[in-house]
Amino acid sequence: MLARHNGHRMTDPIATLTKLLEPIFSEMNGGDPADPVVRPSDRADAQINGALALAKKVGANPRDLAESVTESAALTDVASSLEVAGPGFINVEFSQPFLESLLAEVANDDRLGVAAATDLKTVVIDYSAPNVAKEMHVGHLRSTVIGDSLVRMMECLGHQVIRENHIGDWGRPFGMLIEHLLDLGEDVASSGLSQGDLDSFYKEANAKFAESETFQERARQRVVLLQGGDEETLVLWRRLVDMSNAYFNSVYSTLGVLLTDDDLAGESRYQPLMEGVYQRLDDAGLLSEDDGAMVVYPDGFKNRDGDPLPMIAKSRTGAFMYATSDLACVVDRVERLGADLMLYVVGSPQANHLEMVFSVCAKAGWLVEPTEAVHVGFGNVLGADGKMMRSRAGDSVKLADLLDEAIERAEAAIAEKNPELAADQRAKVAEMVGIGALKYFDLSTDRIKDYQFDWDRMLAFEGSTGPYLQYAHARICSVFRRADIERASVRQVPIALIEPQERALALRLLAYPTAITASLGTYAPHKLCTYVYELASDFSSFYQECPILKSKEPVRSSRLALADLTARVLAHSLGLLGIAAPEEM
RNA sequence: GCCCACGUAGCUCAGUCGGAUAGAGCGGGGACCUCCUAAGUCCUAGGCCGUCGGUUCGAUUCCGGCCGUGGGCGCCA
């Protein structure tokens, strides 16, 4: 009765039901596969909807088909009740021993029922991408946090993940930045940058560039030296990059993301590759001259006059453009790294640009199925006024300030709600809660949409928030502390599903693997967020209605085991979102 | 002008491959702590799923038109 998948027993009852039904539906469809369409239901544990679609296809009565499903013996081991309803829906109630055996399996599994993917891939994920000598802002928050979660989910399913942080470490602005660095003197500049005062450094350089023609000239000369590989200039450039990286790393550390120096893959890395890529475009006969520039015309793109829209490979002045750099990047990822899948966690405004890049790569034969490049786009962070979030001065908000404020606000809330927590413990928890709240708030809405930033809702301890999820986890840990029982000691204890809240919680726990694959299916972390919230919510109902420690054995142990398993899934799923699960808060 | 995304309760958002009565949180009204953290739970009110058509047994979901909002549309990245 038990389907196996990649060495793992399939522990999602819905998926198991689907597997058991497939032969029956196939048979009713004259031997061709037909989807049984099994879904969770609010009228039963699950509903089978496939009879309706199939009935239309084979010209049968849907209720008759449904009846023949309920009369077959295939589901006797898993279902305690099958009922045809309405035009041909089948309501399913899972049998208690079936659910209990699945639960025992999951409790005994370090992976909590999550099987590795069957088609393991090499996945390159491009995310974060701050600019050297500039502040990180809210836009980088989204890319960094979404990318980090996708990395964790992909790795969890066994894919080989290569993180790439495509930092802005090359280009024309570096002429003025290096000249400004020289003006300041290295000591001043390095201490300023190490404090994260990148904003003023960049702005000062920019202001000088705007005001002084001599400075402009110096900057231009410096760009020529930089691109020519002048040693002294490269040393200065390197210094700027290193100082910025140290700053980025401090932000990543506070944010708790996986990025390290090993993941750096800045624009500068692709400079030496662009000439070769350009030659290959030429050899393939894809280049045309237009108004002095060398361009490629990807199919299906038009400009505002309705004429074909070119992707510029080399400018009129003979310089390579960012599009060429992105082409080199794809080539490198496919040919050197062996990428099967490339994810670009980049804001929605770049959609058109990336489509053109991917299209040119396909045309040039560098991006051929099944190799795939996907733009994982995301919307803006908006302020309370519904417009792009800005500081009071009208600038973009510094990410570092945002993180600090999140932690401060969390600490204040914890001090108020749980004054008994020791101060050093409180500081640790405040970081987990503040950063977790910020990440959850960002991850929990559909990434493609803009979202409205709101401290009060983010850090509220009620509703679909990070703190609420963490609280559910902390409560479970607290139960075990109070009873002085090792969590691991209850993992072999059979779980009995008696009360409706226990049953609902069990069904949710068993749906965990499906929640991950669904979330990753569209690179949408918010789907996993929804799952974790529902899990925490189901636990809270259970906790309210089903006393744990006050119950008599064997109920007490069974509930402890259920609580332990819930805490494990909570911690694991929060982990996939990059959110910590404190044991106390 | 063309292209892309979005439009769901007062507010903020979910809604799986087309399924039965469209869900949650906040806010509103009410109930529950001598009891494992009330940072919680339960009940309740609140909807023309932007709009008009199409596809079909069935559309918030798929297709087309329109309206609204945001973004993009060649030598910055």
pLDDT of residue A541: 95
- The gap between A373 CA and B2 C1' (Å) is 26
In terms of pLDDT, which residue wins out, A34 or A312?
Answer: A312
pLDDT of residue A1: 44
pLDDT band at A199 (very low <50, low <70, confident <90, very high): confident
Nearest nt to A481, CA vs C1'? B36
- How many C-alpha atoms does A230 have within 13 Å on its Cβ side? 13
Contact A559/A485 with Cβ under 8 angstroms? no
pLDDT of residue A395: 81
Instruction: Determine which of A83-87, A90-94, A362-366, A399-403 has the lowest per-residue pLDDT on average.
Output: A83-87
pLDDT of residue A195: 55
Q: In terms of residue numbers, what domain contains A198?
A: 173-244
Residue A8 lies in a domain: yes
Residue nearest to nucleotide B69 (CA to C1'): A386
Residue A528 lies in a domain: no
Per-residue pLDDT reduced to its tens digit, A126-168 = 999 999 988 899 889 999 999 999 999 999 999 999 999 999 9
* Domains of chain A: total: 2
pLDDT at A186 over 70: no
> How far is residue A467's CA from residue A77's CA, in Å, rounded to a whole number?
40
pLDDT band at A389 (very low <50, low <70, confident <90, very high): confident
pLDDT of residue A194: 59
Residue A449 lies in a domain: no
Residue A534 lies in a domain: no
Single-letter amino acid code for the residue at A357: V
Nearest nt to A315, CA vs C1'? B75
Per-residue pLDDT reduced to its tens digit, A96-135 = 999 999 999 999 999 999 999 999 999 999 999 999 988 8
ipTM greater than 0.85, yes or no? yes
Burial of A573 (0-12, 13-18, 19+ CB in 10 A): buried
Nearest nt to A542, CA vs C1'? B41
Q: Compute the mean pLDDT over every residue in chain A, rounded to the nearest whole number.
A: 92
pLDDT of residue A123: 98
- The gap between A546 CA and B32 C1' (Å) is 15
Q: Which of A94, A127, A144 is a domain's end point?
A: A94
Q: Which of A244, A275, A294 is a domain's end point?
A: A244
> How far is residue A113's CA from residue A506's CA, in Å, rounded to a whole number?
13
| Sheet bearing A288-290, strands edge to edge | A288-290, A293-296, A311-314
Residue nearest to nucleotide B14 (CA to C1'): A530
- The gap between A300 CA and B64 C1' (Å) is 21
pLDDT band at A192 (very low <50, low <70, confident <90, very high): low
Nearest nt to A267, CA vs C1'? B77
Instruction: Determine which of A118-132, A205-219, A462-476 has the lowest per-residue pLDDT on average.
Output: A205-219
How many CB atoms are closer than 10 A to CB A228? 9
pLDDT of residue A191: 63
Nearest nt to A534, CA vs C1'? B24
Nearest nt to A300, CA vs C1'? B3
pLDDT at A7 over 60: no
Per-residue pLDDT reduced to its tens digit, A264-311 = 999 999 999 999 999 999 999 999 999 999 999 998 898 888 889 999
Q: Which of A465, A419, A470, A439 is nearest to A411 (CA)?
A: A419
Tell me the mean pLDDT in the region A519-536.
96
Q: Which of A215, A244, A273 is a domain's end point?
A: A244
Residue A194 lies in a domain: yes
Residue A44 lies in a domain: yes
Residue A207 lies in a domain: yes
> How far is residue A87's CA from residue A150's CA, in Å, rounded to a whole number?
41
pLDDT of residue A202: 85
Nucleotides of B under 7 A from a protein CB: 1-6, 12-17, 19-21, 23-27, 35-42, 56-58, 70-77
How many CB atoms are closer than 10 A to CB A64? 14
For position A74, which CATH number holds?
Answer: 3.30.1360.70
Residue A280 lies in a domain: no
- The gap between A42 CA and B68 C1' (Å) is 35
Residue percentage of chain A with pLDDT more than 70: 97
Residue nearest to nucleotide B12 (CA to C1'): A452
